Amino acid sequence: MKHFLRLLLLLTLSFTKPVAAQQQLYYPPLAGTAWATVSPQSLGWCPPAQDSLLAFLGRKHTKSFIVLKDGRIALEHYFGTFTQDSVWYWASAGKSLTAVLAGLAQQEGILSTEDSVSRFLGRGWTSAPAAKERLIRVRHQLTMTTGLDDTPPAPCDNESSVASCLRYRTDAGTRWAYHTGAYRLLQDEIATASNVTINQFTNQRLGNRIGMAGAWRNYVYYSRARDMARFGLLMLSRGSWNGTAILRDTAYFRRMTTPSQPLNRSYGYLWWLNGQPSYMLPQSQLTFSGPLVPTAPADLLAALGKNDQKIYVVPSLGLVVVRQGQSAEASKLAVSSFDTELWGYLMRLYCPPTTTAPARPRLPLQLYPNPATQHLTIHSAPTATGLWLRCADLLGREITRQPLPAAGLTLDVAAWPAGVYLVQALDSQGSATGTQRFIKQ
């Protein structure tokens, strides 16, 4: 575990640069197949680790896999008969695309997140009592809080969007439930508001402007892997493309990519969010502690589809990761164990530097309680003097640095986000003489 955490920290520090020094994003031409690349070697990736990653992806029934670093292709691989021109479905990863389309519609003033859904679909679009139906706003579809029953009895199912299957369960905004049937009608609302088909709206307002080619069919989007990567790059660029703001509504973008309601902290506007203190999953009302994908960076955003269709965006690392294919394991609607496994492989790509310098003597650090929720007490060796204490998260972001008295000290960690931290004792040269892992609950 210590070895993995050390590699994770080294990899992150290799990828992460101060905001002012980050490379300018590259954007591929709108037409054609030209797309700049960056060599994995220049990123410090180990060939054996890349081989292990690709072997893992092959075992998990992957068809295409792309990694962008600052917009440039660092890794692109197709499996079996799948090629760069092969088309595949996004499944529920298309929900995240719909969220951007809704933002564009609001930007044009033809739709608002506070509009009643009945404004576009008319009365009786559900079988709920009229007063309860009127409570449902567009934002409730974006946040999966319509209050409609996500497990209606047969012959209905979670994807059914006919009125007889959209049954009242509780008031809108009071229950989070992953309900595809209620979400799908959002596409109809955008089409009604814009007076064009959802495919026309997608192409005119977004696809043509970023070079993304694809099509909706029965509420599901289909495209090539590189089109998914273009969409991910748009998100990495916070709604802009090559200097042109596509989604100009920054307030909407912020709400889309941060917790949208208190029920499921790991869900924005149809986007999954990592790094939150808890999360919920489709087809469950349980709340789980910890981040959604514990092996991934905390700022990861994810468009997740059934059978492990994935678009991951990691702003702190300048990464976009795309995966298309069949289900890696048992079929899941969105989040699966594959997310955690895959990011374990990705975060081990970095080759740790070798050194011939003699090892420094290590001084033990004692931390207690560990895990902790309120306070953390830290002691070093009784004979150690002149030490400094440094605490950082796994992205290398420093939380605190202060003198470490020989008698030790106690930190107030109540306000720290839940997660894993590295606690280090530094000598007068700033070199670590002792490192321990600390878990904040």
Asked if 261 and 321 sit in the same domain, the reply is: yes
Residues 340-397: tens digit of each pLDDT: 999 999 999 987 655 544 444 555 678 878 888 888 888 776 666 778 888 887 666 7
Q: Which domain holds residue 285?
A: 40-109+191-347
- Looking at the structure, tell me whether residues 372 and 342 fall in a common domain: no
343 and 373 within one domain: no
Q: What CA–CA distances, in Å, run from 287 to 114, 280, 291, 389?
A: 27, 5, 11, 35
CA separation for the pair 322, 135 (Å, rounded): 37
Whether 414 and 334 map to the same domain: the answer is no
Q: Judge if 195 and 316 occupy the same domain.
A: yes
Q: Give me the helix-helix angle, 337-346 and 47-59, nearest 10°.
A: 160
- 138 in a domain, yes or no? no
| Residue 206 and residue 244 in one domain | yes
pLDDT digits (tens, 9 = 90+) for 31-51: 999 999 999 989 989 999 999
Amino acid 360: pLDDT = 47
Residue that is last in its domain, among 347, 382, 409? 347
Regarding whether 282 and 373 lie in a shared domain, the answer is no
Which range has the worst mean pLDDT, 59-63, 252-256, 289-293, 382-386?
382-386
Evaluate whether residue 132 is within a structural domain.
Answer: no
Counted domains in the chain: 2
Evaluate whether residue 8 is within a structural domain.
no
Look at residue 146 and tell me if it is in a domain. no
- Tell me if 161 is assigned to some domain: no
If asked whether residues 330 and 382 sit together in one domain, one would say no
Structure tokens at 294: 């514990």
In the prediction, which pLDDT does 37 show? 97
Residue 400 pLDDT = 87
Lowest mean pLDDT among 39-48, 321-330, 398-407: 398-407
The answer to whether the Cα torsion of 208, 246, 187, 315 is positive or negative is positive
pLDDT of 418: 79
Indicate if the pLDDT at residue 322 is higher than 80: yes
Q: What is the pLDDT of residue 306?
A: 95
Task: Round to whole Å and give the CA distance between 434 and 426.
Answer: 7
- Together in a domain, 210 and 76: yes
Cis status, amide bond into 369, omega within 30 of 0: yes
Secondary structure class of 209 (helix, strand, coil): helix
**Residue 171 vs residues 128, 133, 145, 264, 425: alpha-carbon distances, Å:** 10, 9, 9, 16, 53
| Same-domain check for residues 202 and 340 | yes
- How is residue 214 written in tokens? 């694809």
Question: pLDDT value at position 19?
Answer: 34
pLDDT for the residue 161 = 97
Average pLDDT over residues 108-135: 98
Is there a domain that residue 360 lies in? no
The CATH number given to whatever domain includes residue 415 is: 2.60.40.1930
Last-in-domain residue among 347, 376, 406: 347
- Euclidean distance between CA atoms 401 and 53, whole angstroms: 36
Same-domain pairing of 207 and 297: yes
* pLDDT of 17 above 70: no
Closest to 188 measured CA to CA, from 161, 228, 151: 161
Over 50: is that where the pLDDT of 11 sits? no
212 inside domain: yes
Judge residue 3's burial from the number of C-beta atoms within 10 Å of its C-beta, 0-12 exposed, 13-18 middle, 19 or more buried: exposed
Q: CATH number of the domain at 341, please.
A: 3.40.710.10
* 127 inside domain: no
Share above pLDDT 90 across residues of the chain, in percent, rounded to a whole number = 70
- Are 72 and 207 in a shared domain? yes
The Cα–Cα gap between 313 and 91 comes to: 18
Which has the closest alpha carbon to 12: 351, 423, 394? 394
